[in-house]
Every structure is written in structure tokens, then in C-alpha cells.
Amino acid sequence: MRFSAAAREKVFVAALLTPGLLFVVTFAFYPILYSVYLSLHRIVLGIPSLGRPFTGIDNYLRLLEDRVALHSLINTLLFVFTTTGFEILCGLIIAILINRSFKGRGIARAAILVPWAIPTVVSSQMWRFIFNDKYGLLNYIFYGNDTHAYTAWLAHPATAFAAIVIADVWKTSSFAGLIILAGLQVIPDELYRAARIDGASPWQQFRRITLPLIKPAILIALLFRTVDAFRVFDLVFVMTQGGPADSTNVLQFYGYKKIFTEGLMGYGSTISVFVFIISLVVSLLYIRVVGTRLFREK
């Protein structure tokens, strides 16, 4: 029995896609579904006799009444939108600078990606040392050898939150810049030459040519960074442990504490599912609002 060329091509395509599909189902869809299953049960680690009684949406109702969880939600949203905004802005500046032709541009592009390539745990530890109140670099820059005047940056709610924001922006702005740079490089030079001939200033060129044409790249960077910021955990774990006074306690870290410190597997899974739902809704809103405008402009 002989197959047509079209049938053989479909079989070949299916053979190529199947391993990737199995990988996504195993390591993405299954954990999500299993987390939903756990969130609907009361599971306490260390008490096997309790079993896994089905509780329905009781964990979710409990979450809505949990003041610490609501405070962590506010911290998470503030962290997400603050860091994402600064990262897109810094990424745009980085992309514009490294898009220009200058000597050593290749080395500069590689150097800018170094913060993003460093593991988050390593960069978090570095920033924890920088903000340390005893031997931190920041205190030395501000106060020199006057140790009595040193500020405990990570011991005050406002400065501790600012510290994790600075650490995240420093690490991931280059990632946003890389995506925006890809959008800049597809803009034809003829558009800029025509604009200069017409007497357009650099600001007018940026506002009328550059910004509209890189909106799709900005949207992609915005989506990636927003979803990633909602999942922040290691940064808080290393730098502040959610303190002081829960000022840096984000939802993912709060869920970790519920599962591994208090042993509440079901309730901790509820928090993880809640974070997933929020990130999904925000991503869909970005696509709906920003993406629809992009298509209308086209």
C-alpha cells in the first residue's frame, strides 16, 4: 500500500510534533491539572491518616478571607506592574542604543545579556550583599566607613520592596531589550531617510515610525515579563524571605510557605492555581486590548 506525497508529509509533520506535544502535556498541562485537583482537597503533609477529603471550593473561599493572602496579592500586583513597566522602559532604551552602528556593538550586545544569563538565585544573593546593612556596597557608597550611619535597607518595608524591584529590573531589562531589538531591526531604513528628507525631528521619527512599528515586539515582551513576574519566588526567597512584616510577601512565596512550612498542600496548591488564573487573565487582557489596537492600525 502506497501513500500519497501529501499523506507522507502529514505523517512526517505529526512525527515531528508528537515529542514536543508530549513534553508540553507532561511538564505543563499535567502539573496544572494536578494542582487544580489538589486545590479541591484538604491535604496536610505529615498526617497521612487524614487522607484527602474532597472540599470543593472551600480552599478558594478560605483564600478570599485570608488577610495575609490578600496582602500578598497586593504586593504581587504592585511588584508585577512596577517591574514590568520599568523593564519595558529600560529595555526600549537598551534596544535603541544597541541598534545603532558603533565600534564594538557585538561585544556590547553580548555584555548587556549577562545579567539575564545569570541564574536568579546568584543575582539575588549578589543584591542581598549589596543591600546588606553591615558590609553592603550601597551603604559604603552613601556613608563610607561611618558604620554607625549605615541603613538597614532590607529591614524597612519600603526599602526592602524597592530592593527586590531593583534587583528584578536589573536582571530582566536586557531580556525585554532583546525582544524589542528584534522589532527595531525589521524597520526599513528607507522610512527614516524619507522622514529626514521631510524635515522630521528625531522625536517625530520615534513617535511616528519607531514606536508604532515596534508595538508587536513590546506586546510580546510585556506578555513574557508579566507572566514571569507573577511567578516570582526565588528573588524573594533569597533576599527577604517575605519580610519585613510581609512587605515583600508575594503569592508564590506565600504558597510555598503554606505547603512546605505548614504542610498545607491543598491550600498551597489553591494559591498556585489562583496565581495561574490571574496571570492568564492579565495576559488575555493584554492581547485583547493591545493586540486588537495593533490589528486595527494595520
CA-to-CA separations, 245 to 31, 62, 65, 156, 249, in angstroms, rounded? 32, 22, 19, 9, 8
**Could you give the domains of the chain?**
33-297 (1.10.3720.10)
> What whole-number distance in Å separates Cα of residue 33 and Cα of residue 40?
11
Query: Across all residues in the chain, what is the average pLDDT?
Result: 88
Return the minimum-mean-pLDDT range out of 32-36, 43-47, 93-97.
Answer: 43-47
State the pLDDT at residue 166: 96
> Residue 27: helix, strand or coil by DSSP?
helix
State the pLDDT at residue 294: 55
Q: Is the pLDDT of residue 295 over 60?
A: no
Q: Is the pLDDT of residue 297 over 70?
A: no
- Whether this model's pTM surpasses 0.85: yes
φ and ψ at residue 54, rounded to 5 degrees: -75, 130
**Mean pLDDT of the 207-219 span:** 89
Give tens-digit pLDDT for 234-277.
999 999 999 898 999 999 999 999 998 899 999 999 999 999 99
C-alpha cell at 63: 483564600
State the pLDDT at residue 73: 94
Task: Tell me if 262 sits within 8 A of 68, measured CB to CB.
Answer: no
